[in-house]
């Protein structure tokens, strides 16, 4: 059966540096949520853990505060439901050669292995033929290129408006792959400029122990104040006063890594209120919807390979994707996202599982149903400490990522996947943003002082040897 090269139209960045792989131990500089510290970090997801690891290597006293009873945020692996690692949240390690968590995972001895290089597309109860796959691939590439071309222009429009008008009967499938599956939102709700800034990626990897387990291991040596929601951040005075369930904490600066879903819901009150620029940025970066419906299918009744990625040729938005036999286990995960996924998730586990089984029956026949054992469905939209999946900027809102990352009076610094302009929607982007925010805080608080650049003589090229190229910088 012909394979389609995995082209996950999300973000990539060739300039992300790998973070230090050294283990982080509990230090006397880490503080609990009582007293006074130099830096408070709100949220112990990927961004918060990255920030804490950076601060742990400095002289700064810091506190890492988490509302949930666990660390990891939207990265969560558990083994109770199916007896094997099950990622309820992030699972893909995008662009592993450039992803900042890859070398850290390797240093911990975790098993990182490449994802298969192809996808399957089902047309009814059969695999797409070679010519059909070629039509799908050609249409996908054209659609992706069209959105990017428009997104690089001056006017930022909905990505849906940039699609070619001749995608024919592949349009619904391409819209799903580029929109809900890739962005967590339908393309009508996605900024073409934001889409264009996230470079195409064609390499992925998995962690056999689970991505959530990876993030948890990276935070294992940190002192974290769990189960302690922050309700108020008062940045009106010289220090920042943070009110939590367990008491108050004073800090010279605070790194806020909670999701834009939590920020938009005003779960944390800011005094004074955040400037309109930041409030507008949060509104433009509201989270999309992306959930897993996991089925235990022992005996491989679908006849698929390990980590097979399967789409369908669809004629409606009621579609999904399948990741089969995760890491060689009997766990198969149906992915639902975007507007349809949000509506389905709101109806609860029973309806979600029923949809997944019926959807698979339409692609592989009904015989597999007798093989279904345990099931589970995530509902990230109702998780109180997430309230959604990941951010894709609304049309006209690409500017919001840089705006949200701007420090406020050198007291409040935001981090998280929503603040990364090219790696948004990824745990790698969240990690890089947390590391960046911590580095900026250390510099603003004078824990890192940049040495002045030495003065060097500037060579002067004789005028007769200078060349210029019309319309370019001087060479």
Q: DSSP letters along 381-397, please?
A: GG-TTTSSS-B-PPTT-
- Helices 427-444 and 46-56 pack at an angle, to 10 degrees, of 40
Residue 402's Cα: distance from chain center in Å?
A: 16
Cα distances from 394 to residues 240, 367, 382, in angstroms, run 31, 42, 21
The residues, any chain, with a CB within 8 Å of residue 148's CB and separated by 6 or more, are: 195, 196
Query: How deeply is 223 buried, as exposed, middle or buried, from its count of CB atoms within 10 A (0-12, 13-18, 19+)?
Result: middle
What whole-number distance in Å separates Cα of residue 134 and Cα of residue 149? 22
Question: pTM of the predicted model, to two decimals?
Answer: 0.88
Domains defined along the chain, listed by start: 35-75+211-286+391-444 (3.50.50.60), 76-102+116-209+288-382 (3.90.660.10)
What whole-number distance in Å separates Cα of residue 265 and Cα of residue 304? 41
Dihedral of CA 28/33/35/40: which sign? positive
Going residue by residue through the chain (475 aa), what tens digit of pLDDT does each one get?
A: 333 333 333 333 323 233 333 334 433 344 444 589 999 999 999 999 999 999 999 999 999 999 999 999 999 999 999 999 999 999 999 999 989 999 999 999 999 999 998 899 999 999 999 999 999 999 999 999 999 999 998 889 999 999 999 999 999 999 999 999 999 999 999 999 999 999 666 789 999 999 999 999 999 999 999 999 999 999 999 999 999 999 999 999 999 999 999 999 999 999 999 999 999 999 999 999 999 999 999 999 999 999 999 999 999 999 999 999 999 999 999 999 999 999 999 999 999 999 999 999 999 999 999 999 999 999 999 999 999 999 999 999 999 999 999 999 999 999 999 999 999 999 999 999 999 999 999 999 999 876 565 555 544 433 333 222 333 333 3
């Amino acid at each position: 059966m012909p394979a389609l090269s995995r082209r996950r139209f999300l973000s990539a960045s060739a300039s992300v540096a790998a973070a230090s792989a050294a283990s982080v131990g509990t230090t006397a500089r880490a503080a609990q949520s009582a007293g006074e510290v130099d830096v408070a970090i709100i949220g112990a997801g990927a961004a918060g853990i990255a920030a804490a690891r950076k601060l742990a290597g400095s002289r700064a006293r810091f506190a890492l505060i988490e509302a949930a009873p666990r660390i990891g945020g939207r990265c969560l692996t558990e083994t109770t439901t199916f007896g094997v690692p099950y990622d309820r949240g992030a699972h893909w390690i995008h662009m592993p050669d450039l992803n900042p968590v890859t070398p850290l995972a390797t240093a911990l001895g975790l098993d990182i292995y490449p994802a298969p290089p192809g996808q399957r597309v089902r047309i009814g109860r059969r695999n797409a033929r070679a010519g059909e796959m070629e039509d799908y691939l050609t249409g996908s590439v054209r659609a992706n290129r069209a959105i990017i071309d428009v997104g690089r222009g001056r006017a930022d429009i909905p990505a849906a408006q940039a699609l070619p008008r001749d995608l024919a009967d592949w349009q619904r499938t391409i819209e799903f792959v580029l929109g809900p599956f890739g962005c967590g939102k339908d393309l009508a709700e996605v900024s073409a400029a934001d889409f264009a800034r996230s470079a195409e990626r064609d390499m992925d990897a998995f962690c056999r122990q689970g991505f959530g387990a990876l993030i948890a291991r990276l935070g294992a040596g940190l002192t974290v104040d769990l189960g302690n929601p922050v309700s108020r951040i008062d940045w009106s005075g010289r220090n920042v006063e943070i009110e939590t369930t367990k008491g108050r904490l004073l800090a010279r600066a605070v790194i806020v890594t909670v999701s834009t879903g939590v920020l938009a819901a005003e779960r944390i009150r800011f005094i004074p209120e955040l400037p309109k620029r930041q409030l507008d940025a949060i509104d433009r970066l509201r989270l999309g919807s992306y959930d897993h419906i996991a089925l235990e299918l022992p005996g491989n009744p679908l006849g698929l390979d390990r980590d097979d990625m399967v789409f369908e040729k669809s004629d409606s938005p009621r579609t999904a994707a399948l990741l089969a036999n995760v890491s060689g286990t009997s766990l198969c995960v149906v992915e639902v996202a975007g507007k349809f996924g949000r509506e389905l998730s709101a109806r609860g586990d029973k309806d979600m599982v029923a949809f997944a089984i019926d959807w698979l029956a339409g692609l592989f026949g009904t015989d597999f149903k007798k093989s279904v054992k345990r099931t589970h469905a995530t509902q990230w939209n109702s998780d109180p400490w997430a309230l959604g999946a990941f951010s894709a900027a609304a049309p006209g809102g690409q500017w919001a990522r840089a705006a949200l990352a701007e420090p406020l009076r050198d007291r409040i610094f935001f981090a998280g996947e929503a603040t990364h302009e090219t790696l948004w929607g990824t745990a790698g982007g969240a990690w890089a943003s947390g590391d960046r925010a911590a580095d900026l805080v250390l510099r603003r608080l004078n824990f890192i002082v940049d040495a002045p650049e030495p003065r060097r003589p500037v060579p002067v090229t004789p005028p007769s040897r200078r060349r210029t190229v019309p319309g370019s910088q001087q060479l």
